[in-house]
Every structure is written in structure tokens, then in C-alpha cells.
């Protein structure tokens, strides 16, 4: 089982924790991670883009000129695609971009992303993370004590409005409950800061 140090908010090591081999020692399959990222980004797309074809563009109900005898090319409507202001041919229409991945693949991807953080040494376990009031300055201080530069994903056991409000204005820092972790956020952030209770919750959910 992989072992990592446990720190307090002052950045001092207060112990060690054994991580589940099933969750934090899983094989890192780059193909599965890629599938999960593509699916998650595709599922985030709204798909509400639309263009008007010649039937939907306003105007053009009358034939611009008679069929023969003018010397010009025959035309049926000023809203045909070749006219300025005419309809769009084969333009984007509303569609569903969602990709459904099997549950086992999704969980394998998350376990692989968590394992990669352990292997890279960018997983930091906190003994606890409680703030009396929302204060961005306090959250900045804690991350500085932990020597966490750049982008960091902070994970707690559940919804913590105080920590969420304290971290949302820090560039590159994001707070998530343990049950909401996902492959895109895990790979996007350089460091993963997770509480001991959140580790237990993650192992409970994703070890299955």
C-alpha cells in the first residue's frame, strides 16, 4: 500500500496515512484517461449552435425576376445560399454531443488519475481543513505553508461553503467535495490537496 505524509494547515507533518492500493495504486492507462477526458468535455457542450437555412431566413418570397429574357441567370429567391443574406448550407444545427462511458471505465480513469498524483508526489493529505469564516487570505496562507505553487485542487469530505468561498478567488485553485472529483480537474491541476476524511470517502466510493 502506498504511504504518504499527513500535514496540518501550518505545513507541519503530523503523521502518515496508508492509501488503498485499489484506488491510489491502480494502473495508469493513458488510453482510458483520454477516453474519460474526451467524454467529459463533450458532455459539457451545450450543442445549442444553429444556423438558418433558406427556409428559415426572412424574405425572398417573390421570384426576383422572370425566368427568361433578362440575360441574367435564373433565380428563384433572394434568400438562396448564393445570395448575400441568404440561407446557410449544411450549417451547424442543435445536437447532443454527449458520450456515455461505462461506469467501470469512468472509475478506472479516476483511479488512474489519483494514482498518477501519488506517483508524481503531488498528493498532499491534510489532517483537517476548517475555516471560521470565508477568507481568501487565510486559504492563500495555508497553501503557502504546504508549499503548493500553481494550480491546486482542494478536496474535502463534503460541501464546505467556507472553504469554497475562501478558495474561489485564488487563480488556479478549485474546491470540490470528494464525491465530485473528476478526471479533467484531477489532470488539469498540478497538485491535489485532500483531507484525511476525504481520502476515506474517496476510497469508499471508488474502491468498488
Tell me what the pLDDT averaged over the chain comes to: 93
First to last CA, the chain: 17
Confidence (pLDDT) at 150:
86
- Its sign, for the CA torsion 112, 113, 119, 125, is negative
Cell numbers representing residue 196 in the block: 484525511
Per-residue model confidence as pLDDT tens for the chain (208 residues) = 788 999 999 989 999 999 999 999 999 999 999 999 999 999 999 999 999 999 999 998 899 999 999 999 999 999 999 999 999 999 999 999 999 999 999 999 999 999 999 999 999 999 999 898 999 999 999 999 999 988 999 999 888 899 999 999 999 999 999 999 999 999 999 999 999 999 999 999 988 7
Cα separation values, 179 from 40, 51, 157, Å: 16, 39, 8
Nearest to 126 by CA among 7, 14, 17, 24: 7
* CATH classification number, 3-45+97-206, choose in 1.10.10.10, 3.30.1550.10, 3.40.1370.10, 3.30.160.60: 3.40.1370.10
pLDDT digits (tens, 9 = 90+) for 144-160: 999 998 899 999 988 88
Pairing state between β 123-126 and 152-156: unpaired
Which tens digits make up the pLDDT trace of 57-67? 999 889 999 99
Q: Please, are residues 187 and 113 in contact by the beta-carbon 8 Å criterion?
A: yes
Domain ranges of the chain: 3-45+97-206, 48-96
Can you say whether residue 32 is alpha, beta or left, with left for phi > 0 and alpha for psi between -120 and 50 degrees? alpha
Amino acid at each position: 500500500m502506498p504511504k504518504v505524509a499527513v500535514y496540518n494547515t501550518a505545513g507541519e507533518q503530523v503523521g502518515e496515512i496508508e492509501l488503498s492500493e485499489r484506488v491510489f495504486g491502480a494502473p495508469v492507462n493513458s488510453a482510458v484517461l483520454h477516453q474519460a477526458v474526451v467524454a467529459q468535455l463533450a458532455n459539457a457542450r451545450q450543442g445549442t449552435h444553429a444556423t438558418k437555412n433558406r427556409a428559415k431566413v426572412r424574405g425572398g418570397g417573390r421570384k426576383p425576376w422572370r425566368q427568361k429574357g433578362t440575360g441574367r441567370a435564373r433565380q428563384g429567391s433572394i434568400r438562396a445560399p448564393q445570395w448575400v443574406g441568404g440561407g446557410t448550407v449544411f450549417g451547424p444545427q442543435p445536437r447532443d454531443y454527449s458520450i456515455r462511458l461505462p461506469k467501470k471505465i469512468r472509475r478506472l480513469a479516476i483511479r488512474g488519475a489519483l494514482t498518477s498524483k501519488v506517483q508524481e508526489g503531488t498528493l498532499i493529505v491534510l489532517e483537517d481543513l476548517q475555516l471560521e469564516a470565508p477568507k481568501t487570505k487565510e486559504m492563500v496562507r495555508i497553501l503557502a505553508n504546504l508549499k503548493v505553487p500553481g494550480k491546486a485542487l482542494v478536496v474535502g469530505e463534503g460541501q464546505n461553503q467556507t472553504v469554497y468561498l475562501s478558495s474561489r478567488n485564488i487563480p488556479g485553485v478549485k474546491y470540490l467535495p470528494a464525491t465530485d472529483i473528476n478526471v479533467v480537474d484531477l489532470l488539469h491541476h498540478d497538485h491535489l490537496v485532500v483531507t484525511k476524511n476525504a481520502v476515506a470517502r474517496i476510497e469508499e466510493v471508488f474502491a468498488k
